Amino acid sequence: MRPPETIEETSVTVECDRDIVVARTQGRAMATQVGFDATTATLIATAISELARNILLYARRGSIRLSPLDQDGCRGLLIVADDQGPGIPDVSQAMRDGYSTSGRLGLGLPGVRRLMDGFEIRSTIGEGTTVKVKKWNK
Amino acid sequence: MGLADLQQKSSKSTSDSTSALLRELVAHLAQNRAPLREEWLRRITEARLLTAMSQDELFAEATSVYDSYVKALETRTLEALQAYAQNLSERIIPLGVETHEIVGIVLLLRDVLARSLFAKYHTDSELMNRVLDAYEPAANAVALTVSVGFVQERERIIREQQASIRELSTPVLQVRERLLLLPILGLIDPHRARQLTGQLLRGIRATRAKVVVIDITGVAAMDTNVANHLVLTVESARLLGARVIVTGLSPEIAQTLVNIGADLGKINTVGDLQGGIEEAERLLGYKVVPTTIEAQPG
Amino acid sequence: MEVVILKQGPYLIATIQSALADADIVQLRDALVQQVGTHRARGVIIDVTALDVIDSFATSTLRDIAHMVRLRGAKTVIVGIQPDVAFAMVRMGLGLEGITTTLDLEEGLAYLDRETKITANQ
């Protein structure tokens, strides 16, 4: 665990599949610095992997921004997945559990929401999508 | 009422006279430190507070508290006092000092100082009012700071102790080769449930268990979150190649599982622990065979 | 590539050495499917001990591998899923239903031995 002031915000550009691995590895590292246990750090890394993959699949290019959170003595992690892609036409549809047994449908977003404490998604057709998730260390 | 109010009151002072008055009060309290501290200690002993501390300890702490109190009034900031209060709490809580004692002595000090001020200023009632106006908000903020600091420290220690107890009281037992038993007793909250799952999965890997019996005979009820978590645990264990048998499922918990839509067909349940162990042994290929009892030599 | 595929008797054992990017996972799939045919393997073991994250793409591709390998008459076993990874998968709703998973390579081989013996005896 590191003192909150020393953890720097970091941003990963996602434009190829290797970047997904970079983003989730950095996410795991920051989660550990914030003080999350190994199990939760894995949950966070998995969520980041999904968010980064969505960027690739639907926007071809975007970024994952990772920042430490510190509120009322509670520490956590903020993850912002941002792209300037075509946008998601029907967000509520995407948020419905699209995971059939093939696991290929859907954007993995319902799964990410299940994992995280805070989940926000904004998408505009032709402009892009931003997904913000938070995880607190309890 | 906290630091903000204290500062607000300070900035609200329209006249220098209030600041000057407060300085005068602080000077009075500082000058009369020895007798006022004596009086305070006398009243603490009389009220039978802080009996866990020795006379020397009490004297030393009382001096520190008194000085911090006056300093807080003087500087009109509470940070130093907060830091001191936390430090004090860390030292005296292990001695067995309780919340009512800390609150008690702080209020006694407030009282002792107020009476001293009254004794000095009571002849001029208008001045007395201004003295109280200056003293009271500050004194209240100080009392609150010390009390809250103590309570927070106590709560922190209790949480730590609870975590230790949880860690100790959730053993994953290896009862046979490749067979683990996880008996769960008492209340399960989400935090404990997460901890149990982690311990179980790590145990499966460490002992290469192929069957796990989770016994919840000792669990009266489970909310939907924990029930859901139980299902997740069973599925996680399966990914590690282990089969899970749940024993001691009460009708209430069975109902909860049905309500959350758990596929009970996927969870192997057996009525009681004994039956569960037998089923586990069967799955592992054990056979229980009675041995012949040898006749005792006559 | 970060994966080593070995032949052990009638089985293929693919050991993943480190985090795989998507292209590598697809490459693994193609290589396995091809080699099952070439070597007439009866079973495929995929050792994922070194994977610290298994997300929806990895899960879906593992399912594809099992499906395609089955079409060639062989069984697939995934071995070595880490406890934290298993929990994350389950929390996210990623399942490997219908695919056998075992703790480690030893268990995986034992499983395949039992299964292929059953088939041989039929």
**Are C94 and A103 a contacting pair at CB < 8 A?**
yes
CB A18 within 8 A of CB C22: no
Average per-residue pLDDT for chain B: 86
> Rounded CA gap, B154 and B103, in Å?
13
Give yes or no for a contact between C40 and C9, defined as CB atoms under 8 angstroms apart.
no
ipTM: 0.94
pLDDT in tens, B152-195: 888 888 888 877 776 666 679 999 999 999 998 877 888 888 88
Average pLDDT (B105-126) is 91
Residue C21 contacts A where some CB pair is shorter than 8 Å = yes
Q: Do A39 and B198 touch (CB under 8 A)?
A: yes
Question: Is a pLDDT exceeding 50 seen at residue B14?
Answer: no
CATH 3.40.640.10 fits B173-284, yes or no: no
Q: What is the CATH number of domain C3-121?
A: 3.30.750.24
- Candidates B177, B240, B283, partner chain C, best to mutate (most C CBs within 10 A): B240
What's the average model confidence in pLDDT over B92-110?
89
CB A49 within 8 A of CB A83: no
How high does pLDDT run on average in chain A? Answer: 88
Please report, for residues B74, B209, C83, the alpha-carbon distance to residue B16 in angstroms, rounded to integers and kept in the order given. Answer: 15, 77, 68
Residue B241 has pLDDT above 70, yes or no: yes
Helices (H), A1-138: 17-34, 38-59, 91-95, 109-115
**Ramachandran bin of B212, using left for φ above 0, alpha for ψ from -120 to 50, beta for the remaining angles:** beta
Is A3's pLDDT higher than 80? Answer: no
Angle, helix C22-39 to helix A17-34, in steps of 10 degrees: 120
DSSP state of A35: T
C59-117 residue pLDDT tens: 999 999 999 999 999 999 999 999 999 999 999 988 898 899 999 999 999 999 999 88
Which sequence spans correspond to the domains of chain B?
3-163, 173-284
Q: Do B232 and C95 touch (CB under 8 A)?
A: no
pLDDT in tens, A13-42: 999 999 999 999 999 999 999 999 999 999
Structure tokens at B61: 């702490």
Strands, sheet with C11-16, edge to edge from the N-terminal-most edge strand:
C3-8, C11-16, C43-47, C75-79, C100-102
Give CA C45 to chain center in angstroms: 5
Buried b / exposed e along B31-57 (16+ C-beta atoms within 10 A): eeeeebbebbbebbeeeebbeebeeee
Taking CB atoms and an 8 Å cutoff, what residues of chain C touch A104?
Answer: 56, 60
- The pLDDT assigned to B76 comes to 79
Q: Is A4-136 in CATH node 3.30.230.10?
A: no
pLDDT at residue B72, as a whole number: 86
Tens digit of each residue's pLDDT (9 = 90 or more) over A79-119: 999 999 998 888 887 777 654 333 444 568 888 998 899 99
- Phi, psi (rounded to 5 degrees) for B167: -60, -45
- Quickly count: other Cβ atoms within 10 Å of residue C115's Cβ: 15
As assigned by CATH, the class of the B3-163 domain is mainly alpha
Which pLDDT value is given to residue A104? 47
Residue A105: the pLDDT is 46
* Contacts B242 to C, Cβ<8 Å: 103
CA geometry: angle at B206 spanning B205 and B209, to 5°?
A: 60
CB contact under 8 A, C84 and A38: yes
C107 contacts B239? CB cut-off 8 A: no
**Residue A101: predicted pLDDT:** 34
Q: Which residue of C has its CA nearest to B206?
A: C103
Q: How far is CA B260 from CA B186, B252, C88, in A?
A: 22, 13, 20
Length of chain A (residues)? 138
Higher-confidence residue of B23 and C39: namely C39
Between residues B53 and A99, which one has the greater pLDDT?
B53
Q: What is the pLDDT of residue B46?
A: 93
Domain ranges within chain A, ordered by starting residue: 4-136
Up-side HSE of residue C58: CA atoms within 13 Å toward CB? 24
Q: What is the pLDDT of residues B256-276, one digit of tens each?
A: 998 888 877 778 888 899 999
Q: Work out the pLDDT band at B294, boundaries 50, 70, 90.
A: low
pLDDT of A44 > 80? The answer is yes
Residues C2, C16 contacting (CB under 8 angstroms)? yes
From chain A, the residues in CB contact with C82 under 8 A are: 42
Q: Residue C22 corresponds to which tokens in the numbers above? A: 């998507």
B243-247/B268-270 β-pairing: parallel
Out of C83, C95, C101, name the one closest to residue B202 (CB).
Answer: C83
Whether B239 has a pLDDT exceeding 90, the answer reads yes
